[in-house]
Structure 1
């Protein structure tokens, strides 16, 4: 199957309208329709059905989307790696980051770009486990991950993070003043959780904390990204256990209360493969070290 057709497939799922998707792909709507029809002919069934709310994936479409996304992402990573090899590895860096570095990585990259405008940087959001895998394959130059790191990777420890209780706005109720009184809040509100596939590291941290405290909250809804989790909290759907660093992206009226418990804390750092670092990575790490100093 052509990557071009798979890209049209996943982009249409992201935007759900042919007009918006065609604009993103810089093609005409008839051309997009032909690409989707060509892919449907190859797989032997309809991938989307059109309705009042745009293009909705069929059961076949939903089943094929995860594999299609992976192929498109791998193709993009391969193209990026090829460009880096072609230019000697000096003109571009590919950096990964996750929820625990949502404030660190963008700040570091912005300062690096200010100091070294001739070196391009791609910054992509992904889980720590995916970052480690791509660093090992040479598809990422470095990643901001939840520590400890896998064997064989170099590590620069940066800071710590902790779980925090995100509570919905409610004039008649207040979030617990004592961060250890989390169980009562979760019993009152229920728990909104990030899907395990989207954030396996966070899910593992939440599991460890709940087990250490003997808590068994009712999960009222799952979401595929942290901003949706926080939006659901803001809407009063439930409370959530999130990294304290998301305070910067949380709605103003959602309370974020850090949890003071050993099982709620972890370290954050940058990792890279010492066997094949591009020359620009050394310069990037110098900037990171300078910003990380007290």
Structure 2
């Protein structure tokens, strides 16, 4: 059924005059009459009669009025939802984040949700390498990734990256320890202790950053006495006295008061974090999220 014809029929029924109905619909009276006639031909019966007093709905027309109102209302509701999706105020959004954006990503999502409450957002923890693969495959909408991983993995212009923050390595030790503050002395102090580490599979970017810093500073490979599959377990082991660990300084947001984090002030220990997404056919929900992420950075 033609929604335009249904709308014309409803407007004539509501206004009782073709002239008034035509003005309300912003069309001419002849055009309105043609729409009514086309609908009557399909029904096979007169729906509206017209005389000097105006237009009156026939018995057949009154039979169709409830369904016509329902269809037009639903069409209007659908059109509204389509418009909301086009503007990015309705829809779904998948966001990835890694260890270094454990503070930045949730803040961006919270700010985005306050502004666009009708968009359903999923936030999943994964490494930068995994995020970049999913972004390229179209399986992830937005990712918070390390600049190093982005530069290494992106050989074309398929993905865009915008800086939203920075992070650096920090030595995690027990709160009652007193490690030195200078990078060289700090690492000499740490090498005399047991090490706890996140598995390379779980945190490949962190492992690469540690290797980069170690090679730059001239330290040998750290051999952990204990490994764990998530950052919070690493911090819990440090708090329990199992050893020390190199973690992102941003881990302060999840570390307990039993853990002391000492930032490593060395150029090779620092990196930048950015929000990344595909450049082609970017839906409005993604564009809106990137804008919010940049605003709260």
Q: Same fold (TM over 0.5)?
A: yes
In the other structure, the counterpart of 1:82 is: none
Deviation at 1:169, TM superposition (A): 3.7
Deviation at 1:275, TM superposition (A): 1.3
Contact (CA 8 Å) 2:175, 2:258: kept in 1 or not? Answer: yes
In the other structure, the counterpart of 1:166 is: 172
Contact (CA 8 Å) 1:141, 1:278: kept in 2 or not? Answer: no
In the other structure, the counterpart of 2:258 is: 253
**Residues 1:179 and 1:114: Cα distance change in structure 2 (over 3 Å):** same
* 2:230 pairs with 1:225: yes
* 2:165 pairs with 1:187: no
Contact (CA 8 Å) 1:128, 1:201: kept in 2 or not? Answer: yes
In the other structure, the counterpart of 2:209 is: 205
Q: Give 3-state SS (helix, strand or coil) of 2:207's partner.
A: helix
Contact (CA 8 Å) 2:175, 2:257: kept in 1 or not? Answer: no
In the other structure, the counterpart of 1:241 is: 246
Q: Give 3-state SS (helix, strand or coil) of 1:193's partner.
A: strand
**Residues 1:141 and 1:96: Cα distance change in structure 2 (over 3 Å):** same
**Structure 2: 5+ residue runs without aligned partners?**
1-84
Q: Distance in 1 between matches of 2:259 and 2:219?
A: 22
In the other structure, the counterpart of 1:105 is: 105
Deviation at 1:254, TM superposition (A): 0.8
Contact (CA 8 Å) 1:180, 1:259: kept in 2 or not? Answer: no
Deviation at 1:113, TM superposition (A): 0.3
**Residues 1:218 and 1:196: Cα distance change in structure 2 (over 3 Å):** closer
In the other structure, the counterpart of 1:266 is: 271
In the other structure, the counterpart of 1:20 is: none
Contact (CA 8 Å) 1:187, 1:218: kept in 2 or not? Answer: no
Provide, for residues 42-93 of structure 1, a one-character-per-residue CA deviation record: whole Å limited to 9, x for no partner.
xxxxxxxxxxxxxxxxxxxxxxxxxxxxxxxxxxxxxxxxxxxxx8885000
Q: Distance in 1 between matches of 2:194 and 2:214?
A: 14
In the other structure, the counterpart of 1:214 is: 218
Contact (CA 8 Å) 1:163, 1:265: kept in 2 or not? Answer: yes
Q: Distance in 2 between matches of 1:276 and 1:181?
A: 51
- Alignment counterpart, residue 159 of structure 2, candidates 146, 153, 160: 153
Q: Give 3-state SS (helix, strand or coil) of 1:166's partner.
A: strand
In the other structure, the counterpart of 1:64 is: none
Tell me whether 222-231 or 280-289 shows the greater mean CA deviation: 280-289
Deviation at 1:175, TM superposition (A): 1.9
Deviation at 1:263, TM superposition (A): 0.8
Deviation at 1:128, TM superposition (A): 0.3
Deviation at 1:218, TM superposition (A): 3.4
Deviation at 1:167, TM superposition (A): 0.8
Q: Give 3-state SS (helix, strand or coil) of 1:190's partner.
A: coil
Q: Distance in 2 between matches of 1:99 and 1:183?
A: 22
Which structure would you say has the larger Rg?
Answer: 2
**Structure 1: 5+ residue runs without aligned partners?**
1-86
Q: Distance in 2 between matches of 1:176 and 1:208?
A: 21
TM-score, with normalisation over the residues of structure 2?
Answer: 0.66
Contact (CA 8 Å) 1:175, 1:255: kept in 2 or not? Answer: no
In the other structure, the counterpart of 2:281 is: 276
Contact (CA 8 Å) 2:97, 2:123: kept in 1 or not? Answer: yes
Q: Give 3-state SS (helix, strand or coil) of 1:219's partner.
A: coil
Contact (CA 8 Å) 1:193, 1:221: kept in 2 or not? Answer: yes
Q: How does 1:56-205 map to 2 (within 5 A)?
A: 91-148=91-148, 149=150, 150-151=154-155, 152-170=158-176, 173-205=177-209
Q: Distance in 2 between matches of 1:257 and 1:114?
A: 34
